[in-house]
Amino acid sequence: MAGPLDGMRVLDLSSVVLGPMATQIMGDLGADVIKIEGPAGDTTRYTGPSRSHDMAALFMGLNRNKRSIVLDLKQDAARDALWRLIDGADVFIHSIRPQKLKPLGLDHEAVLARNPRIVYAGVHGYGSRGPYAGAPAYDDVIQGQSGSADMMARLVGEPRYLPTIMADKTCALVTAYAVMAALLERERSGKGQFVEIPMF
């Protein structure tokens, strides 16, 4: 039986945990997810235990139900190939900092101008406005800034990282819900939109 997202194509330009977990959920629900990696590959390929040098268990779990392609977006031919994929896609999701993406011509304004029905989702450490806009962040940084580490201090007497990647996992769920809500809205209005999901 086909899943509820059967027929939807998702372009996944995210890495590490947050974005890949969100698109893994979409793949589990039947979407055709194409993971797009640079030549060096997603860093989680090399994180933790593995049977193969570049296929760690973490990477395998987060990227199940996905097809894969390598594109060096600094090359014109690779960007052309990506634009052809964008033409037929329903969702474009990335975890690239906006100031790195804009020079490549892949900001949300450009992608939505090319494909007005696409749902463009940016998952970042911080929102595009505010004092931290554009700064890099990982789960442990967000745990410290959000006060989560202080909750551990109440239990063990000192601030500590929670024993899970709480910010990544929570925001991955929020991302999946936000993208699916945007797809539902698109079915009603016929228009795609930009969705931003900051961890902080």
Among all residues, which ones are annotated catalytic?
A: 168
Cα–Cα distance for residue pair 12/4, rounded to 1 Å: 19
Taking 3-state DSSP, the helix, strand and coil percentages for the chain, each rounded to the nearest 5, stand at 45, 15, 40
* b/e code 132-158 from CB counts within 10 Å (16+ = b): beeeebebbbbbebeebbeebeeeeee
Residue 134 CA, chain-centre distance (Å), reads 15
Whole-angstrom Cα distance, residue 77 to residue 71? Answer: 9
Q: How many helices (H) and strands (E) does the chain have?
A: 8, 6
The DSSP H or E segment spanning 175 is helix 166-189
